[in-house]
């Protein structure tokens, strides 16, 4: 696994902490507020550092990318995370690598290896084995929101890869976070009203989601999308439910049955196979030309 892939993997691993933070540290029944406070402060911080704004057509492109990658994804993810167990929500979000793998060839012209497609399907099975338990309750709106978040992030990955970036990564990430946060701000106020009084635990949770979980994670994520095949990057998303399940066991004392342990192993296999399948073919370096001897030249 090269350095770029390893750095990109830190993003979905960090996102895997969101489910624990949401249920343990954040105020209940405030999914839109959580999404807004995760995106907008982080984006404003990056804009303050870079002091660069979009130009020309990149105003609307940044708005579209921000809506898909941030606004719609965050809102739908938290709408899903509140009524559903974290494992169920994570399973629905894990559908997005299947969508990216299926569409990357037609949208981006990428050659998707059959092994990568197998890895995507294997990863979804592994996630289901890891986090779906017989007692897991299903809320219809939560399920639809989870599938919607997967579709939004898949579209965001494909468009980000297709359009590239016209500015440094810090600015490019900041544009999207601000756009996504602004898209969320009005619905948050209309549907959820003013923010409640926040406790120290709430502030700690929002700070974690905004800085490591959003600003730093998306810098790593967008860097990977722009430098690696889209299908290869999307398979790393399986690390999110794996992290969520591991934290549930380590922090909350949730037990892991043999089936769940097997699911975690399948996820690791899927990520490893996807990383291998997405590698560019090895080409031997061209032979160095023979040195030329100049007649009459001094040595």
- pLDDT for 138 equals 60
Closest by CA to 172, choosing from 101, 222, 114, is 222
Rounded CA-CA distance 197/176 in Å is 28
Rounded CA-CA distance 48/178 in Å is 11
- 8 Å CB contact between 39 and 188: no
Question: How many Cβ atoms from other residues are within 10 Å of residue 21's Cβ?
Answer: 20
DSSP letter at 27? P
Cα dihedral: 187, 192, 198, 201 (round 10)? -80
- pLDDT for 291 equals 40
Structure tokens at 193: 């009203």
Per-residue CA distances from 55 to 58, 165, 268, 282 (Å): 5, 12, 41, 39
pLDDT tens readout for residues 67-101: 999 999 888 877 776 666 655 666 676 677 777 87
Mean pLDDT by 10 residues, the chain (299 residues): 84 87 88 90 94 94 95 82 63 72 73 74 74 61 79 89 92 96 92 91 94 93 88 80 80 72 76 65 44 37
Please give the backbone phi and psi of residue 7, each rounded to the nearest 5 degrees, phi first: -65, -40
Closest by CA to 182, choosing from 59, 4, 286, is 59
| Model pTM score | 0.78
Closest by CA to 121, choosing from 148, 95, 103, 86, is 95
- pLDDT for 137 equals 58
Rounded CA-CA distance 39/134 in Å is 34
Question: How many Cβ atoms from other residues are within 10 Å of residue 109's Cβ?
Answer: 8
- 8 Å CB contact between 126 and 264: yes
- pLDDT for 70 equals 92
- Beta strands (DSSP E) in the chain are none
Closest by CA to 130, choosing from 26, 271, 31, is 271
């Amino acid at each position: 696994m090269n350095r770029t892939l390893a750095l990109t993997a830190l993003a979905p691993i960090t996102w895997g902490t969101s489910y624990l933070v949401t249920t343990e540290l954040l105020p209940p029944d405030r999914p839109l507020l959580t999404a807004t406070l995760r995106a907008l402060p982080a984006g404003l911080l990056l804009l303050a550092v870079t002091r660069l704004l979009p130009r020309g057509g990149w105003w609307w492109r940044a708005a579209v990318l921000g809506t898909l990658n941030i606004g719609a994804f965050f809102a739908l993810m938290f709408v899903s995370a509140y009524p559903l167990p974290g494992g169920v929500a994570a399973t629905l979000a894990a559908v997005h690598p299947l969508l990216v793998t299926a569409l990357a060839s037609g949208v981006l012209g990428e050659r998707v290896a059959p092994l990568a497609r197998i890895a995507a399907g294997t990863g979804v099975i592994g996630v289901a084995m890891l986090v779906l338990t017989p007692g897991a309750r299903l809320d219809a709106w939560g399920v639809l929101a989870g599938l919607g978040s997967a579709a939004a992030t898949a579209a965001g990955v494909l468009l980000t890869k297709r359009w590239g970036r016209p500015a440094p990564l810090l600015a490019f990430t900041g544009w999207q976070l601000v756009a996504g946060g602004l898209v969320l701000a009005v619905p948050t106020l209309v549907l959820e009203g003013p923010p409640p009084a926040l406790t120290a635990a709430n502030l700690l949770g929002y700070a974690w989601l905004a800085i490591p979980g959003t600003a730093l994670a998306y810098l790593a994520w967008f860097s990977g999308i722009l430098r690696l095949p889209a299908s290869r990057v999307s398979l790393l998303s399986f690390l999110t439910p794996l992290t969520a399940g591991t934290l549930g066991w380590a922090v909350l004392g949730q037990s892991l049955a043999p089936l769940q342990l097997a699911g975690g192993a399948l996820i690791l296999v899927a990520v490893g196979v996807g990383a291998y399948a997405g590698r560019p073919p090895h080409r031997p370096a061209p032979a160095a030309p023979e040195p030329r001897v100049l007649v009459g030249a001094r040595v």
